[in-house]
A and B are shown apart, each in its own frame.
Chain A
Amino acid sequence: MIRVNQLYKSFGSATILKDINTSFEQGKTNLIIGSSGSGKTVFLKCLLGLFQPEQGEIYYGKQAFSAMTRNQKKDLREHIGMVFQGGALFDSMTVEENVMFPLRMYSNQNQREMLERVNTVLDRVNLQNANKKFPSEISGGMQKRVAIARAIVNNPRYLFCDEPNSGLDPKTSMVIDNLIKEITSEYNMTTIINTHDMNSVMEIGQNIVFLKDGQVAWQGNASNIFDASEQSVIDFVYSSNLFKKIRGIQQQSKGTT
């Protein structure tokens, strides 16, 4: 579990995150949603320790991040998996080497054991026969799967995903969403996903934090997001034509009954 208390982050005179208070649950897919510029990526980078917040605290389990020693932070990072928006796979390495990278850095396994583990996770993300290919030789969807495999190869406690569906077609997006959801419950991880894809929200939104202008405007889940009274959440949800049509049909059916 990750808990956030009164978090503030600014760049120069612009305050990006203001008084963020929320928590992300273990074994669930936690989504951070909001329109572009709402502070999602900054928030995610604060959670990852890539940005230092000016004020507030982030608790990993019971431990405050700012109170951790350098070694404790290093230990924590070994238990964090991250799927970047563009995959962030290492260009100069093959798929197999990319996935093996965290193991080579942190485990004492021999080459055979590491290879076994790599093949297990590649199987888990349904990626076979791509071991020797370079990232530039595989599709965007496959790159995302490799990124997920690399993120989970070390059995992390925390999985972070920054817009894992960006640039993917709806069908592949759904496959990736379901894969993340399954892996989260299988590994009992605290998964945090940064997205603005409403399909993902409906598919895997077990705990949703809605950001507006750097503040938590609403928190709930996929089943109660349609009941949200907050106007910015309503605007966000019904920003797509599909959801607008669904709402129209719902209102029509209510009118006829």
Chain B
Amino acid sequence: MKYFKEIGAYFLMLGQVFSRPTKPSVMRELIFKEIEELILNSLGIVIFISFFVGGVVSIQTALNINSPLIPEMLVGYATRQSVILEFAPTFISIIMAGKIGSFITSSIGSMRVTEQIDALEVMGINSLNYLVFPKIIALLLYPFIIGMSMFLGIFGGWVASVYGGFTSSTAFIEGVQSDFVSFHLTYAFIKTLVFAFILATVPSFQGYYMKGGALEVGKASTYSFVWTSVIIILANYVITTLLLS
């Protein structure tokens, strides 16, 4: 019953996020600030993780190919498929649930605890629009991060397999290019956009409606990470079933 109540509250919150808009000149600044905090400040960790996980995927694939009948190019092919279909959109989103999600929950939660949200409401500002809407708009650039992660993941795979002596560069690139289905990219970016929306709104919901003090802000951040991850994984399953099966 509690979960149904929370789901209902979440959708009511979404209704308010898109109503009573904040003054455009103020909103523009807020969006740029959120782009810096949510997108640009996440680039470092995404670059690091994508490069090395791409490398590990290619090494694991190469090490598991024992039969001489299996072509070497499979390493490049498997790396591309793993990175584009799952690693970049889903795995990075789970990591972002920890990084961006916790940041959103703790910053909004702190505002709740210190009555800053009440101050906005008293001033007649739609606090949900003011706080959550710019995050949703900023995260429309999230596919840019994921696109970069795809490229770096495959590049990391190439570096690891070529310089690790597992495959030749030609074989790896041939594998990356073979049997390419462009719809897989479309599928990956569709789910990336859905995950971006989840990343912006679920942690905001946890922060906005939290009660208590500083300790509860920490608890809300943890709770937010768990729920954002669970919802991303469920959404991943549903989207994959709808678009690929």
Contact = CB atoms under 8 A, between A and B. Distances in A.
B26 A104 contact: yes
A243 to B, nearest CB: 30
A84 B124 CA distance: 15
Interface string A70-100: 0001101110101011101111000000000
A88 B26 contact: no
Given A105-B23, A105-B26, A88 B123 contact: no
B124 A78 contact: yes
B133 to A, nearest CB: 15
Nearest to B121: A50
B116 A90 contact: yes
B23 A102 contact: no
A182 to B, nearest CB: 23
Contacts of A86: 114-115
A48 interface: yes
Contact of A48 (B23, B26, B114, B122): B122
B86 interface: no
B119 A84 contact: yes
Given A104-B23, A104-B26, A105-B23, A88 B124 contact: no
A76 B123 CA distance: 9
Contact of A91 (B116, B118, B124, B125): B116
Interface residues of B, number: 16
Nearest to A135: B114
Contact of A88 (B22, B23, B25, B114): B114
A80 B26 contact: no
B23 A82 contact: no
The binding surface of chain B is classed by DSSP as helix
A84 B118 contact: yes
Contact of A84 (B23, B26, B115): B115
B105 interface: no
A82 B124 contact: no
A82 B125 CA distance: 14
Given A104-B26, A105-B26, A88 B119 contact: yes
A78 B116 CA distance: 17
A88 B111 CA distance: 8
Interface in A86-129: 86, 88-91, 101-102, 104-105
A77 B122 contact: yes
A88 B118 contact: yes
B115 to A, nearest CB: 4
A84 B116 CA distance: 9
A96 to B, nearest CB: 15
B160 to A, nearest CB: 41
B192 interface: no
Contacts of A78: 123-124
13 contacts: A50-B118, A73-B124, A77-B122, A78-B124, A80-B123, A88-B114, A88-B116, A88-B118, A90-B116, A104-B23, A104-B25, A105-B22, A105-B123
- By Cβ-Cβ distance, the 3 closest A-B pairs, closest first, are A77-B124, A88-B115, A88-B119
Given A77-B123, A88-B115, 4 more contacts: A84-B119, A88-B118, A89-B116, A105-B125
